[in-house]
Structure 1
Amino acid sequence: MRLDSLPADDEHYGLVVVGAGPVGLALALEASQTGTHVLLLDAGAEDAGRRDKPPARRRNDTIVDPDRHAPELQTTRVGLGGASWMWGGRCVTYEPVDFEQRDHVPDSDWPIGFSAIEPWRAKAQEYLDCGAGPFASAEPDWPGLGEFRMSQLERWARQPKLGPRLGARVLADPLIDLLSDAPVVGIAFDDDGSTVRGLRIRHGDRPAIVRGDRYALAAGGMETVRLLLDAQRTLPTAFGGVDGPLGRYYMGHATGSIANIVLTDPADIALLDFHRDEHDSYVRRRFSLPAEALNEHRLLNASFYLDNPPFYDYRHKNATLSAVFLALAVPPVGRRILAEGIRVRHIGPEPRRYGPHIVNVLRNPVRAVIDSWDILRRRYLSRVRKPGFLLRNPGGTYAIHYHSEQIANPDSRVRLDGGVNPDGTPSMLIDFRYTDQDVDSVLRFHELLDDRLRASGKGRVEYLDPPERRAAGVWEQAIDGFHHIGTTRMSARPGDGVVDADCRVHGVDNLYIASSSVLRTSAEANPTFTTVCLALRLAHHLAETPALTHPRKDEAAVEG
């Protein structure tokens, strides 16, 4: 139900969820199915996610290295659906190896295993609308590839903008109250920090307190950390202390392309292209290594998939790719086609040369029109959105794109910078870092894949740069800020992390975190799917665990 004003003082909520993005929506809906009365708070208007964050909701955060971390307007939205308005819809599950202690992966000792998310994967697929099928292909791998497998699947949401579909379910649910335009600006703890007494919000120009039995922060990795860092200013021993894990171990992924793959038989591309499966969703096979090979070669987890050459490189001489580049290069048009961060990546660095792209289009305008119409029809006019397109070529040459795990580095972190945002919350210093190990693993993965492709007779890897320039190529493309992983990580012991195995904040009996920030390793997978699995698990954990009762304090006491 939509609330147009603050909840009544006598309204009792079993759970207050902060954030109406993919994770918050799934958590609220699942909790309501257990009979829990939920208050769902979001900082934006219901339809705010369709647009960039309004100035009043933007942040004055400082990014230490803009070459490594994308700006706020490319990574976050407010409103019903949250960042799903910018999401491509890729759904990839963490695997058993991602939860295991690996000697060559620092701080990879999770307090839970794969079995913690496995029961919730089917339900997460339902919420994210990515088809009910498996995450592994039954098709055989190419013979001769050695340890490499091609069975690992990424599934794609049929319609990744979740606000309209899940938002409608929230508004129709009698056990969920939605209060929009209600940013949480602080957490009110009791004197010793062991219990949350309420959340300080602003609704319009009015400050207020909202209360429930339990609270779940699902506002995304940045906003969740911001609230806890702010609370730590008055509770310096909380969350592991001021020099503890809160805000540290900030991870994402190393992504990019430093090589092409040349297929011996160009027809083999059909096995690695997007296809619509029997569950009516798009899937794609990728090259990856099983746990045994990752450990043997001491590699971080990674996957490789085939892609078009860069749109911005006019030397591809492809009329359709150049037509797409020209459309993306016009911001009002390109932003309607792709999320801003992806658009910027595809149009490449300045200076951009438009003339050669126009020449490419004029070489074969009919082909460009036919292909462009087919892309628009399948991507924007179909009820099942095609996530991408791969233009086939008779030479069998394609860019090979890597998506690789990043290690947990305590020096990669966010912390308060002493500034203030328009809504009065503190601003942060974002010091996001990659390491030599992140880059070296990507390079060695390529070498191993090239060796196995050549041995199988199926193809080869052709690098874009000579050996002495390849590491620089990975570094130049190393940027994230879309996947906010690790800054409130899960741990068995307080002081080593921020939440326990049930996503409860260590030392606080009624505060939980439902965010990719609790993930202890980044894996090779985009974090949304696994985070939703953990949120569903949390909803049932809360339903099975009696809420602690706390004496009601007056509002003045809560404010203190």
Structure 2
Amino acid sequence: MSIITEPAPAAEEFDCCVVGAGPVGLSLALEAADAGLRVLLLDAGAATPRDNAAAAAARPPGHVVDPTTHAPLELTTGRGIGGSSWLWGGRCVQFDALDFEPRDYIAGSGWPITEADVSPWAAAAAEYLDCGVPTFRSDAAEWDGLSQVSVTKLERWARQPKLAARLGARATEHPGISALCEATVIDIGFDQTGTGVAHLLVLHGRDRVEVRASSFVLACGGLETTRLLLSVQRRLPNHFGGVDGPLGRYYMGHLSGSIANIELTDTSDIRDLDFALDDHNVYVRRRFTFSDRIKRERRLLNTSFYADNPPFYDARHRNATLSLVFLALSIAPIGRRLIAEGIRLRHIGPPPRRYAPHVANIAKRPFRAAGDVVQVLRKRYLSPTRKPGFLLRNPAGIYALHFHAEQVPDADSRVTLNAATSADGQPGLDIDFRYTQQDLDSVLASHRFLDEQLRESGRGRLLYLDAEDDRAAGVRAAATDGFHHIGTTRMSVDASDGVVDGDCRVHGVDNLFIASSGVFRTSGEANPTFLAVCLAVRLARHLAEALAPDGSRPGSGRARGTMNGPASA
């Protein structure tokens, strides 16, 4: 069934209602429908991005307590078919086995599931995200002398990260999926026992519709899912662990930025750290990572490093191509068409911006800069496989060293409801996103260890941008996040410590599930999208099996709900 514009008639039957049409919701809906379930897919946004201005304007108000730690919400969440993939760079990274395990130096670590519970679904996740195969280690040799540091772990990149055109079209054209857009879930109705969801109350235009199904999955992102559950908790204070419980707490993302350059002894080594097409026509990139043994021995949070260009906005790089890219991105209408707004703002740096030095850089090598930019545009925007970035070589062998680091769970890093409301009555959010001293200390210690290993092996060294006493401040200044919404509905064994169990089922509610990075118990160093989709595929298969215990078509032998009332006889 294609996209529907009016609430479905009473005869319409659904096994599963999925709220949210981003990468996670689309993957879950498709996996469930392919398994035979009748799926209703709801999203608060419009069917096409050009129609989402109204949805953006209707977004419930949000207040970031400390804007230096968290990006504005309009840059970090997306509505409509494709959801946050409109803002996503396409990076797919696998969580390590260690990320799921208890670590005595990380309070609250240890998931109810293991890496082995997730890995069977990696191939399906890679297919949905269009990043080739779930191979996350290169078969290339490690660097000689770097016995404690690996350069073979891979990140993979989606061929085209904006998923609406491919994945969204598959979902809305699937005969087992009905998609209702501009449909905002404003409440959850429970049955008389309080242990099952009877319906979702949905605002569609001026109508309030009760959506009924056998199971319900909230896949509307970490923050939006948390907002909805907090709103319900106002009415039902004992649900979701209680008002002083875990819901909305342990909000995590990643620390990411650059506080040092890397100088390579052999300048040709940069080839190992650049983007490369693999045998599946997907771009991959190798990174510096540490073994699980080293992380445990040195009590380090999970951290990876990759080589990058110097900041575009710093004209002291004297690179004509980087300066030309900087000027293009500085023109907002152009830059916003080229990359996501949050990434654009990071590349052009904070005001005041000085343009004359960049013009001088370009004037020295205008034809080379123009040629480079043409190649970047061709490979990034005119190729069926989008190149995620470019790394310009330099004869000195000096490159920015970018870190991407885990953040510890902190109960005081949280989101709560505030007194503000949107036009349709949805409550606003207060976002108190925090980094701990342990987060900062681990980033600095990880840099020191990498520098030691590079120097001892003779492969290179780190060149810090700040004096030692100023480096912690440099980490904090670089570490603004809010793009990875992790931990606010986290997994746990019991309801006092989390919101969902190891099957992503909300504690105490038989047929309500959450599919998002909000269920992660720790953040790892990996971007969350790939694991979130793995968990979504796993959940879809679980729902299909639960609805068809005898192996028949899911839902064929049970009374299923409808959108406006009980199933017809």
TM-score by length of 1: 0.97
TM alignment of 1:123-522, pairs within 5 A: 123-132=124-133, 134-522=135-523
Distance in 2 separating the partners of 1:552 and 1:428 = 32
2:5 alignment partner in structure 1: 4
Contact preservation (8 Å) 1:193, 1:238: no
Distance change >3 Å, CA 457–CA 217, structure 1 → 2: same
1:121 alignment partner in structure 2: 122
Deviation of 1:57 after TM superposition, in Å, equals 2.8
What amino acid does structure 1 have at the position aligned with 2:101?
A: E
Alignment deviations for residues 216-236 of structure 1 (CA, whole Å, 9 cap, x no partner) = 000001110011001111111
What amino acid does structure 2 have at the position aligned with 1:238?
A: H
Contact preservation (8 Å) 1:418, 1:427: yes
What amino acid does structure 1 have at the position aligned with 2:163?
A: L
Distance in 2 separating the partners of 1:230 and 1:174 = 34
Contact preservation (8 Å) 1:124, 1:536: yes
2:551 alignment partner in structure 1: none
Contact preservation (8 Å) 1:199, 1:211: yes
2:533 alignment partner in structure 1: 532
SS at structure 2 position matched to 1:233:
helix
Distance change >3 Å, CA 143–CA 385, structure 1 → 2: same
2:68 alignment partner in structure 1: 67
Deviation of 1:156 after TM superposition, in Å, equals 0.2
SS at structure 2 position matched to 1:536:
helix
Distance in 1 separating the partners of 2:160 and 2:420 = 38
TM-score by length of 2: 0.95
Deviation of 1:550 after TM superposition, in Å, equals 8.4
Contact preservation (8 Å) 2:10, 2:565: no
Distance in 2 separating the partners of 1:345 and 1:158 = 23
Residue 79 of structure 2 corresponds to residue 81 of structure 1: no
Which ranges in structure 1 are unaligned for 5 or more consecutive residues? none
Deviates more, 1:9-18 or 1:19-28: 9-18
SS at structure 2 position matched to 1:150:
strand
Contact preservation (8 Å) 1:100, 1:108: yes
SS at structure 2 position matched to 1:545:
helix
Deviation of 1:302 after TM superposition, in Å, equals 0.6
Alignment deviations for residues 476-521 of structure 1 (CA, whole Å, 9 cap, x no partner) = 1121111000000000112110000100000001100001000000
Contact preservation (8 Å) 1:52, 1:73: no
Contact preservation (8 Å) 1:221, 1:484: yes
2:545 alignment partner in structure 1: 544
What amino acid does structure 2 have at the position aligned with 1:127?
A: Y
Contact preservation (8 Å) 1:53, 1:78: no
Deviation of 1:162 after TM superposition, in Å, equals 0.3
Deviation of 1:552 after TM superposition, in Å, equals 8.0
Distance change >3 Å, CA 310–CA 221, structure 1 → 2: same
SS at structure 2 position matched to 1:498:
coil
What amino acid does structure 2 have at the position aligned with 1:480?
A: D
Distance in 2 separating the partners of 1:445 and 1:231 = 42
2:39 alignment partner in structure 1: 38
Distance in 1 separating the partners of 2:172 and 2:519 = 28
Alignment deviations for residues 186-237 of structure 1 (CA, whole Å, 9 cap, x no partner) = 1112345311111111111111111100000000011100110011111111
What amino acid does structure 2 have at the position aligned with 1:353?
A: R
Distance change >3 Å, CA 293–CA 53, structure 1 → 2: farther
Distance in 1 separating the partners of 2:467 and 2:354 = 25
Distance in 1 separating the partners of 2:415 and 2:317 = 40
Deviation of 1:138 after TM superposition, in Å, equals 0.7
SS at structure 2 position matched to 1:46:
coil
Distance in 1 separating the partners of 2:530 and 2:541 = 17
What amino acid does structure 2 have at the position aligned with 1:170?
A: A
Distance in 1 separating the partners of 2:270 and 2:160 = 25
Distance in 2 separating the partners of 1:440 and 1:426 = 36
Residue 21 of structure 2 corresponds to residue 20 of structure 1: yes
What amino acid does structure 1 have at the position aligned with 2:264?
A: L
The alignment covers a number of residue pairs equal to: 557
SS at structure 2 position matched to 1:399:
strand
Distance change >3 Å, CA 264–CA 50, structure 1 → 2: farther
Distance in 1 separating the partners of 2:476 and 2:405 = 13
Deviation of 1:143 after TM superposition, in Å, equals 1.3
What amino acid does structure 2 have at the position aligned with 1:108?
A: S
What amino acid does structure 1 have at the position aligned with 2:168?
A: G
SS at structure 2 position matched to 1:507:
coil
Distance in 2 separating the partners of 1:363 and 1:249 = 50
Contact preservation (8 Å) 1:49, 1:78: no
What amino acid does structure 1 have at the position aligned with 2:361?
A: N
Alignment deviations for residues 260-316 of structure 1 (CA, whole Å, 9 cap, x no partner) = 000011111001100001111000000001211100110000100000000000000
Distance in 2 separating the partners of 1:32 and 1:323 = 47
Alignment deviations for residues 388-423 of structure 1 (CA, whole Å, 9 cap, x no partner) = 000000000000000000000000000111221222
SS at structure 2 position matched to 1:395:
coil
Deviation of 1:48 after TM superposition, in Å, equals 2.5
Alignment deviations for residues 536-557 of structure 1 (CA, whole Å, 9 cap, x no partner) = 0000111111489789899899
What amino acid does structure 1 have at the position aligned with 2:84?
A: A
Alignment deviations for residues 311-360 of structure 1 (CA, whole Å, 9 cap, x no partner) = 00000010000000111111111111110111111111111111111111
Alignment deviations for residues 108-162 of structure 1 (CA, whole Å, 9 cap, x no partner) = 1110000111000011000000012510011111111121111110000000000
Following TM superposition, the consecutive aligned residue runs of length 4 or more in structure 1 with deviations greater than 3 angstroms are: 49-56, 546-557
Distance in 2 separating the partners of 1:553 and 1:444 = 56
Distance in 2 separating the partners of 1:314 and 1:551 = 63
Distance change >3 Å, CA 278–CA 306, structure 1 → 2: same
Contact preservation (8 Å) 1:49, 1:82: no
Distance change >3 Å, CA 409–CA 204, structure 1 → 2: same
What amino acid does structure 2 have at the position aligned with 1:222?
A: L
Distance in 1 separating the partners of 2:401 and 2:423 = 43
What amino acid does structure 2 have at the position aligned with 1:301?
A: N
SS at structure 1 position matched to 2:417:
strand
Contact preservation (8 Å) 1:500, 1:506: yes
Distance change >3 Å, CA 118–CA 50, structure 1 → 2: farther
Alignment deviations for residues 70-89 of structure 1 (CA, whole Å, 9 cap, x no partner) = 11111111111011011100
Residue 106 of structure 2 corresponds to residue 90 of structure 1: no
What amino acid does structure 2 have at the position aligned with 1:386?
A: K
What amino acid does structure 1 have at the position aligned with 2:463?
A: E
Instruction: Provide the identity percentage.
Output: 57
SS at structure 2 position matched to 1:94:
coil
SS at structure 1 position matched to 2:13:
coil
TM alignment of 1:101-116, pairs within 5 A: 101-116=102-117
SS at structure 1 position matched to 2:183:
coil
Which ranges in structure 2 are unaligned for 5 or more consecutive residues? 549-554
